[in-house]
Every structure is written in structure tokens, then in C-alpha cells.
Amino acid sequence: MMTSRNMGYVYVAITMCIWGGFTITSRLNAIWHISAWDITALRFGLAFCILTPILIYKKDTTFLFKKEPFILAMLGGVVYCLTSYSAFHYVPAAHAAIFLNGCIPLATAIAAYLLFKEPFDKHTWISLSIMLCAISGMSLLMYRETGVAFGFGDLLFFLSAVWWGIFTVLLKQWKLSAWHAMTGVAIWSAIVYIPVYLLFLPKHLADSTFAHLAMQTVFHGIFVVMIATLAYIEAIKRLGAFQTGSIVTLAPFIAAIIAVPLLGESLSLAMICGLIGMGIGALQPWRWFGRKDSLQASLEQQKQD
């Protein structure tokens, strides 16, 4: 029988595979001519069809009529999906690791300070310094290589990090359960977005094959929306937020490297510098040494007792 801690690592592995797959498959959307408008509608449409009957069967729909699930859905659902999916149509997967996943911890810390006056700790200040140095060095190298420091896709990824940072802070503050947060975001996103999509937004479903559309719908509608969210929460319960977050943050950076042979993308010197710098800033590896020292001291104290 597996221990609770080992099960935590299983949940971490599941989350990493899906989060890494999100980076690769979102880039494939651009290659397969699936627009951000289309994949957002397909993603939440499938999740809505699966989750709504379950909530009705469980008679667990009262929470949907509160403001919190609706606000979370608009930020972490509709707006986040549209900006992040759109960004992949402009820049390679490595840019997502830097400007989206790398900036999420920073955006979360700033959102917590602005919304609820939570001060930065010393680790956040160190991360901020490393990230600013990494972005400055990367932008300088990009300007020398291409004449452009940042692209429109990079801006969209950074905005996505801002939306997700605010979403994370509000989710923590409002203390919704994993199930209510996941279902609330999926259902309200579908209720609000799909009518707007059907009536007003451009549709390019005919530009892609049925197989590609089906694969992306299942992956983003079931694996990303449902399985990854629940697996991530279960991993946190068993391993803690810091250890879980540190491990799963590696997934998009690994995906950026895999995208080089898999999707034929290239990694310039600027991108390599950005990946290393933002990865260190996001993972905060120096905190592991402190945790190790604290654990060792605790074990020694237990032996003395």
C-alpha cells in the first residue's frame, strides 16, 4: 500500500504531465489553426456538459449563485484562457515558460500586496531581483538578435500571469474548496462565454480537422480543467504548498525544451538566459536548504526527547 506522501508524488506527476502538455498542445493549436476563441468555447463547453449533471445530481448548486465563483470564472477562466491561448499564436512555447509560468509567482505576490496588503517576504524580494535581472538581460539579448525586445505574444502571456495571480489570491482569500472552485469556474465560464462566442465572435472550426479538434477539446476540457486542478489540490494536501508548487513549476520549463525537437522550435541565447533566470526565480531553490536544515533540527530534537 502506498503511503500518503508517495501518493502525493503521484498527484504531482499527474499535474506536471498535464501542465506540460498544456504548453505543448496550446502551441499545437496555432499550428493546427485552432483559434483562441474556438478552443476556449470547446474547453468550457465540454466541462459544462460533464459537471452540470453531477452538480444537479448531488444537489450542490447553491454556491454557484454567490459572487465569488463568478468573479473567479471571469479572471481564471474566460480572460485567462483568451489571453494565454492567443499568445501561443504569436510566440514559441519557451516564451510561455518565461512570461507566463515564470511571472505567475511574482504576479501573485504583487496581487496579494495590492489587494490585501500582504507584505513581501525576503524570498519574494530575492525572486523579484533575479527575475528582473533575467528579463533585462534577455530583452537586451533579444534586441541585439532581432531588433525587438518584447513581442505582442509576450505581453499577452504577462497579462495571463496577472489574471492568474489575482485569481490565486482571491481563491486563497475566499477559501473555496477545490471542487467548488473548479466547477464554479468551468460552469460560469461556459454560461458567460459560449453565448457571446456563438453570437459575436469569429469561428474557424472548419480550418482544422475533426481529430485535432476532438483531441484538444478532451485534453483541455477534461484533463486541464478537471483532472489537473483536483490532482494539484490533492498533492498540496499531502506534500504541502511549497514542495508541490516548486516541483510542478518545472513542467512548463521542461515542455519548452521538449518543444525544440517535437515542434521544431529553436532556443536562442536570449531564451536560454530567460528560462534559467525565471526558472530560478520561480522555484526559489535556496529555500530547500533552509527546509532541509529545519527538518534536520526537528529530527535531532525528537531524538533528544
Under the banding of pLDDT at 50, 70 and 90, the label for residue 293 is: very low
3-class SS string, 218-244: HHHHHHHHHHHHHHHHHHHHHHCHHHH
> 49-53, 73-77, 145-149 — which is least confidently predicted?
145-149
Whether residue 301 is predicted with pLDDT greater than 60 in this model: the reply is no
HSE-CB of 146 using CA atoms within 13 angstroms: 11
pLDDT of residue 295: 44
Residues 156-195 pLDDT 10s: 999 999 998 899 889 888 888 889 989 999 999 999 999 9
For the chain, give every domain's residue range.
Answer: 4-304
Whether residue 36 is predicted with pLDDT greater than 80 in this model: the reply is yes
Residues 105-124 pLDDT 10s: 778 888 888 998 888 778 77
The secondary element (H helix, E strand) that includes residue 103 is: none
Cα–Cα distance for residue pair 135/121, rounded to 1 Å: 21
> 80-89, 176-185, 250-259 — which is least confidently predicted?
250-259
265 by DSSP, 3-state: which? coil
